[in-house]
Amino acid sequence: MSRRLASAAAAAALLTGGQAYAQDLAAGAAELRDRALADGTAWSIVESLTTEVGPRPAGSPAMLRARDWAVAKLAALGFKNVHLEPFAADAWLRGPESAEVVAPFPQPLHVLGLGRSAPTPRGGIEAEIALFRSFDELLAQPPGSLKGKIAVVTQAMTRTMDGAGYGAINRNRTQGAAEASRRGAVAYLVRSLSTDDARLPHAGAMRQASDAPAIPAAALSVPDAQLLERMVARGRPVRVRLSLASRSDPAAPAWNVVGEIPGREAPDEVVVVGGHLDSWDPGTGAVDDGAGLAVTTAAAKLVGERGAPRRTVRVVLWGAEEMDSSGEAYATAHKAEIGKIVLAAESDAGAGPVWQARLPKGALDHPAMKAFATVLAPLKVVVSREPATVGGSDVAGLIALGAPTVGLTPDTSRYFDLHHSADDTRDKIDPRDLAQSVAVWAAFLYTVADSDIDFRALAGK
């Protein structure tokens, strides 16, 4: 068979059984992919946000500027129905901080208070440390055994492509202070959840115990955690002074910022996608989550530029992810339209290239998803047999209400070198990786928004 004949036969095969639909979707997705790879929109969004706004925790004056920036940016990019959805966020804002070893070997320590840390009294807390090499070691301590001490956990984090290293150790930051307080500790220090060796601590939120006093808690940089291990190994008591100031507002004004590409046939069916606008304060929120909001915004814009899709694509820039407030607020506000939310997904795992797609349950064999899969090979993305699980915390509320989701997993190998630290800056992003991610997202959004795929039906819900 000649090559031309073989090609014609393949085309004919694709057309059988109503596959013209899939062929159109695949062609559109391929066109979007190739345009995305040559498009600088996502890169320019991150450049603009990190330069013109910088760090922007919920509740800070910078978040007001971020909000205005987001409204102006979505409008300038051609989104319709650009608006704010206000809510009350749990805000925690850092004040001056310091820490030092006072005995037996005085020297400064590099720390960052954790979100929801209690402030120390003026002048700080000085106490002997009790150092544990793993979280399980801390958990094995009996009640009262840490009375008057500063508990320290120095467990290392594993570098992985899929964020598993972070998941495995996340409780060290989020639950450590509560567990230490239950055992009598007056403060808690945790080795940063970091895969890098830079002397920069990594911030992040934690939860105080409801059944024990709220205590001060901070992250140590990796070299500082190692320093304390070496001091403790010398067998003499190690005393640390910790001084942390902060203010909290459990109902700070906050906003989710929204823009839409209205659908041409079924505008009330909505694909919800986005990233979060707020960031931790030490860096400039470039990889967390400037990249995620830039990739999803740029992808939606490209979809719209091809002409209105069947369904609406709605970009949401969530306003208080780091303190877990914005997703809950969004789900509460949108409960009534949940049946019309075709899919909800957040990109919030950095600026690495997407390496894996996990589709909604049962969707692998649907022609729209097959069309999506046909464009992935040159992007070096594999389609997993595993269905998507809950992704970014901003869509967890919608998913709990029944919204389907997708996982377009970026390579997180380098993400946790930077995440929540001063090193979260624009220079750490490779614009080619960003363009690759936009290509994956644009192709996916298009095949969902321009088709009639019903993920709930496919999942047997």
Binding site for a second copy (CB under 8 A): 47, 50-55, 61-62, 65, 105-108, 110, 197-200, 222-223, 226-227, 230-231, 234, 283-284, 421-423, 425-428
Closer to a second copy by CB, 69 or 455: give it: 69
Two structure tokens written together for 441: 């997202």
> Looking at beta carbons only, is 217 or 222 nearer to a second copy?
222
Query: What is the residue-wise DSSP string for 380-423?
Result: T-EEPSSPP---SGGGHHHHHTT----EEEE--TTHHHHTTSTT
Smallest distance from the beta carbon of 281 to a second copy, in angstroms?
8
Bridge pairing between strands 407-410 and 354-358: antiparallel
124 torsion bin: left (phi>0), alpha (psi -120 to 50), beta (else): left
Secondary structure percentages of the chain, helix, strand, coil, to 5: 40, 25, 40
256 neighbors 278 (Cβ within 8 angstroms) = no
Give dist(CA 322, CA 278) in Å, integer. 7
The residue (of 222 and 398) whose beta carbon lies closer to a second copy is: 222
Q: State the nearest-atom distance from the C-beta of 8 to a second copy, in Å.
A: 53
For residue 429, the minimal CB distance to a second copy (Å) is: 11
* Continuous segment of H or E residues that includes residue 266: strand 266-276
- Exposure of 38 by Cβ count < 10 A (0-12 exposed, 13-18 middle, 19+ buried)? exposed
99 — phi, psi (to 5°)?
Answer: -155, 150
Measured from the CB atom, the residue of 47 and 337 that comes closer to a second copy is 47
What are the residue numbers of the active site?
A: 321
Closer CB to a second copy, residue 99 or residue 354? 99
* Cβ at position 390, least distance to a second copy in Å: 32
Q: Does residue 162 contact residue 358 with C-beta atoms inside 8 Å? A: no
- Whichever of 110 and 334 has its CB closer to a second copy, that residue is 110
Instruction: Report d(CA 295, CA 436) in Å as an integer.
Output: 9
Q: Are 50 and 424 in contact (CB under 8 A)?
A: no
Q: Shortest Cβ distance from residue 133 to a second copy (Å)?
A: 16
Cα distance between residue 122 and residue 125, in whole Å = 8
Cβ 364 vs Cβ 444: under 8 Å = no
Shortest CA distance to 77 belongs to which of 276, 297, 234, 253?
297
Measured on CA atoms in the order 303, 304, 307, 309, is the torsion positive or negative? positive
Helix, strand, or coil (residue 326): helix
Rounded Cα gap, residues 363 and 349, in angstroms: 23
Cα–Cα distance measured from residue 157 to residue 241, given in angstroms and rounded to the nearest whole number = 26
> Least separation, in Å, of the C-beta of 199 and a second copy?
4
Distance CA 185, CA 44 (A): 47
Q: Look at residues 215, 230, 227, 245 and name the one whose alpha carbon lies nearest to residue 127.
A: 215
CB nearer to a second copy: pick between 214 and 245: 245
Taking Cα atoms as reference points, which of 103, 10, 49 lies closest to residue 425?
A: 49
Q: What count of other Cβ atoms lies within 10 Å of the Cβ of residue 125? A: 18
DSSP assigned state of 336 = G
Q: Minimal distance in Å, beta carbon 197 to a second copy?
A: 5
Q: Which is nearer to a second copy, 278 or 328 (CB)?
A: 278
In angstroms, give the least distance from the CB of 110 to a second copy: 6
Residue placing its CB nearer to a second copy in the complex, 341 or 418: 418
Q: How far is the CB of 198 from a second copy (least distance, A)?
A: 5
